[in-house]
Structures are given as C-alpha cells and as structure tokens.
Amino acid sequence: MSGDAVFDRYMCLSVDVQGYGTHDDVRQNEIQRVLLEILDTAASRAGVNRHRWRRQPKGDEELALVPTDETPQRVVGEFFLELDAVLYRHNLQADPARRLRLRSAVDEGPVREAANGFVGRAVVGASRLVSSSAARQALQREAQANLVVILSHVVYRDWVDSGRGTLNRDQFRRVRIQEKEVDEDAWLWVPGARSDQDLATTDAPPAGTSPIATHATAAPSSITMTAQATGSGRVFQAGHDMHITDTGT
C-alpha cells in the first residue's frame, strides 16, 4: 500500500459478546442472530442509519466504520442508551443462562479498506479497547449489568466531556489501557452499575474525594427512561482512575 493512499475519517465502533466461547455451537449460532437484531433495533430507535456503516462481522463481534457525518453525538449518546435498554428487555425475558452481555468501544481517526480488512490506528484502538481487561473486569464485577462502553480519550473529549452529547460525563471513569501496542487513557461507563460506595473495596477513590452514593433503581424500558436514569445518578466510579495492565499476546 502506498504512503499516499486515501484515508477517510470514521468513528470505529467495536462490539463483542462477553463469554461467547463458553457456549456450544447451537447457542453461538443463536447469539450471532440475536446480536444483529439487537444492534439493528438500538440503531433504529436512536435514529442512527446502520445501513451506512461499513461493517466487518466476526461471529460474536462486529467492527463498524461509522461515517463522521452520521451525527457522532447520536452514535455515542442515543445509540448506547438504546442499546442498554434493548439488552435489558431481551435479558428480562431470557433464561439467566442465556443473557446477552456486551462490551463496546469507540475510537476515531483516518481509516481505509485494505486487502483483508480495515487499516488505521483507530481500528486497532477500538479493537484493543473492547477486549481490554478494564472492559472485561467491569462486566465481571457488575453481575447485573448488560453493557460496558469504553471510549478513547478523543471520543470522550469531543462527544461526552464537551457536553455536546446525551451521556453524563460524571458516569465515566478514566482507565489506563496497556494492550500490546496501545498504552493510553480511555473512559469507561457501565450503565446501571452500583454506586461508588459499593465498589470501594475493589477500587479505592483518590485521597480527598468522596464516594457518590446515589443510584437509580428504575429499569430502562425506553430511550426516555434510560436517559432519565442516566441523568439521575446511575454512577460507576465517577472521576476515579484505575490502572489496568494486560500482558497477554
């Protein structure tokens, strides 16, 4: 590939199913079908056009290039709120052993299609974030949570911390990601997670800070209810830093 190859700017959105490999072939086939249905439903309800996404399916994963004119704040905001709500409704009706729990990550930057997939630092970044220990451990620790979202620093800065989107910056916590060639800060959110006080034994807050003890009890059954819950204090270690190191190859 020549150095002057054309790269276009995209949001790179990666979604992965937690615990997919523990299921048998029949269940894996069902998970793949349900995953696409849930992503399509969440996008439709959020007003996001998934038909414009350049998608790379990988069984229990999907890596999608989202055009930057596809209202990024809606992708980072309403789409994830709806995804959490759709997952909640699905899991409410499912057998506990058949719950679907997702990790999702977003990075942004120049990307192009190559001979065997997508090429770009943002593609690598999203893939490392979604498979990071920070994301995996968050769902393991939060047994009732259905979704974890982890954003690169650039995405968080532009579409959450800026106040442009619908997600509350106070619900995110900064984590350090060290995954192979990636060594940088990212921002993690678990919708409906326990309060800081409940998590004090696992990640102590920095000296001089006070845990936030409020939490929401209402189940997300629509975008309106989810957005209200988001604004009412469903907090996952707001403002706390955690250092995560992955040494796996």
Cβ-based neighbour number of residue 221 at 10 Å: 12
Residue 197 to residue 218: CA distance in whole angstroms: 19
Cα-to-chain-centroid distance, residue 167: 12
Domain parsing of the chain, residue ranges: 8-243
Residue 123 to residue 114: CA distance in whole angstroms: 12
Residue 206 to residue 196: CA distance in whole angstroms: 12
Spatial contact of 157 and 99, defined as CB atoms under 8 Å apart? no
> How many residues in total does the chain contain?
249
Mean pLDDT of the chain: 78
66 or 183, greater pLDDT: 66
| pLDDT (tens digit per residue) in 57-102 | 888 889 999 998 888 889 999 999 999 999 999 999 888 878 999 9
pLDDT given for residue 2 in this prediction: 52
Residue 215 to residue 184: CA distance in whole angstroms: 29
pLDDT given for residue 3 in this prediction: 57
pLDDT given for residue 101 in this prediction: 95
Residue 159 to residue 71: CA distance in whole angstroms: 10
Q: What's the topology of domain 8-243?
A: Alpha-Beta Plaits (3.30.70)
According to DSSP, the residues that pair with 222 across neighbouring strands are none
Residue 202 to residue 215: CA distance in whole angstroms: 18
Which positions ≥6 away from 147 have C-beta within 8 Å?
80, 83, 84, 87, 101, 102, 103, 104, 190, 191
Across 11-31, average pLDDT: 88
pLDDT given for residue 58 in this prediction: 84
Tokens of 59: 């069984």
Closest listed residue to residue 83, CA positions, set 230, 239, 185: 230
201 or 110, greater pLDDT: 110
Cα dihedral 90/92/97/98 (nearest 10): -10
pLDDT given for residue 214 in this prediction: 32
Which positions ≥6 away from 1 have C-beta within 8 Å?
114, 119
| pLDDT (tens digit per residue) in 194-241 | 644 333 333 433 333 333 333 333 344 333 333 333 333 333 333 334
What is the pairing mode between strands 241-243 and 173-179?
Answer: parallel
Q: What percent of the chain has pLDDT over 90?
A: 53
Which positions ≥6 away from 222 have C-beta within 8 Å?
85
Spatial contact of 164 and 118, defined as CB atoms under 8 Å apart? no
Residue 221 to residue 133: CA distance in whole angstroms: 29
